[in-house]
Amino acid sequence: MYPAQPEKISPKDHDIHLMEKAVSRENMTKALRRVEENKGAPGVDGMPVESLRSHLRENWPQIKEQLLTGTYQPQPVRSVEIPKPSGGVRLLGIPTVTDRLIQQALLQVLTPIFDPEFSEASYGFRPNRRAHDAVRKARQYVQEGYQWVVDMDLEKFFDRVNHDILMARVTRKIKDKRVLKLIRSYLQAGVMINGVVMITDEGTPQGGPLSPLLANIILDDLDKELEKRGHRFVRYADDCNIYVKSKRAGQRVMESITAFLKNKLKLKVNEQKSAVDRPWKRKFLGFSMYITKDGTTKIRIAPQSIDKVKNKIREITSRSNGHGITQRIDRLNTYLGGWLGYFALSETPSKLEELDGWIRRRLRMCLWKQWKKVKTRYRELRNLKLPEWVVHELANARKGYWRMSGVLNRALNNAYWQGQGLMSLVKRYQEIRKAW
């Protein structure tokens, strides 16, 4: 599929021969493994990830030649709408798997060039950095007394990136004209919506491997400006929080940085979603904060994140999906395990205890709905070895499902759900924290 030996690029040829490095056997093999691991949906050509290897066996020599001669033309991305927790939709642009492979190969040679000079305050989509690091740094600033946050929301950032401004930043470090042409070709490849290709003269579609790096490249100007002004800030992709000591200072920063983004980067701040406020009243990467009585700053799960997980639990436990209680518990455990893997950074186990109780009550309601007939209720309640008078009282109750789920607490208690295999969030949280 690839040449027998990787092409060797001497350091002095690095700039003008970057494309050779991108299409080398070693780099392409690494990119192929990454694309296969990430899986993902097909692009406009309908080709699944599973067919990529066989496609490359037949077509790689031609694709490689086009890349090396600067004649490769990416296909449009496929538009997909993803619902936002706050309402509305986020548009993703899904590239074909071939284009995902090429973008991944480019990403692997571009990251070592750009990443070392990115700001220490930038955490999104960078090697050896993650959202937890950003949240911890934010807590540190609040603990140090910077208890006002300038919470900036960039309006439709990924859809509004100016191509010329972005490419000017890329050109600062990249001299291989084929790479520059290919990046611009990806930016202008277009979006297919309902079978019609729409031209893209701005934006970098979310969905491709290259998009997060390009976002960091253009927003590095913002980081450098904030550093020059001596601000304490944390940025994760287009989510930027600046920490100051007073509301008035925050308002000045909001005004001046909004102007900087508009004039220098042609980016607009969403005034409705942005604010100067207390950190404990705002959400950052799913978390919020609170101050204890002794003045310690703690991390908590944001109320919006609790609402979101409850909505997902409602969806998993809904009767309309036709699953029995065992299947629902299996799906809940899978989902909640991943969810808690992220939110275990929270320092409020009491919220998890509340959520555990709410989940059990939700499941009791599901069971009660399943036991719709009085005859079924008698049978199932007797199976729980309850006193006959309790069985009779519960089976003939006429209360609503949610009220009954509370009444059933003693019959279907914690031990019952543990026996059914339901994961305890509090217990799992303690295990995760202990492993840290």
How many other CB atoms are found less than 10 A from the CB of residue 46? 10
Residue 329 pLDDT > 70, yes or no? yes
Instruction: Tokens for 153, please give them.
Output: 């929301």
The model carries a pTM of 0.88
Instruction: Tokens for 223, please give them.
Output: 């980081």
Residue 408 pLDDT > 50, yes or no? yes
Q: Could you give the count of Cα atoms lying within 13 Å of 417 in the half-sphere of its Cβ?
A: 27
For residue 425, the enclosing domain spans 302-435
Torsion of CA 417, 421, 426, 430, to 10 degrees: 150
Residue 349 lies in a domain: yes
**Residue 14 Cα to chain centre, angstroms:** 33
Give me the residues paired with residue 165 across strands. none
Burial 393-402 (b: 16+ CB within 10 A, else e): ebbeeeeeee
The amino acid that residue 165 corresponds to is I
Residue 139 lies in a domain: no
Residue 390 lies in a domain: yes
Residue 227 lies in a domain: no
Question: Which residues are within 8 A (CB) of 435 and not within 5 positions of it... i.e. 6 or more apart?
Answer: none
Concatenated DSSP letters of 396-425:
T----HHHHHHHTTTTT-HHHHHHTTPPPH
Residue 7 lies in a domain: no
Average of per-residue pLDDT across 5-18? 57
Residue 250 pLDDT > 90, yes or no? yes
What is the number of structural domains in the chain?
1
Residue 387 lies in a domain: yes
Residue 392 lies in a domain: yes
According to the model, what pLDDT value does residue 13 have?
Answer: 45
Contact predicate 178/222, CB 8 Å: no
Please choose, from the candidates 19, 17, 21, 24, the residue with its C-alpha nearest in 3D space to the C-alpha of residue 3.
Answer: 24
Band of residue 407 on the pLDDT scale cut at 50, 70, 90: low
Band of residue 12 on the pLDDT scale cut at 50, 70, 90: very low
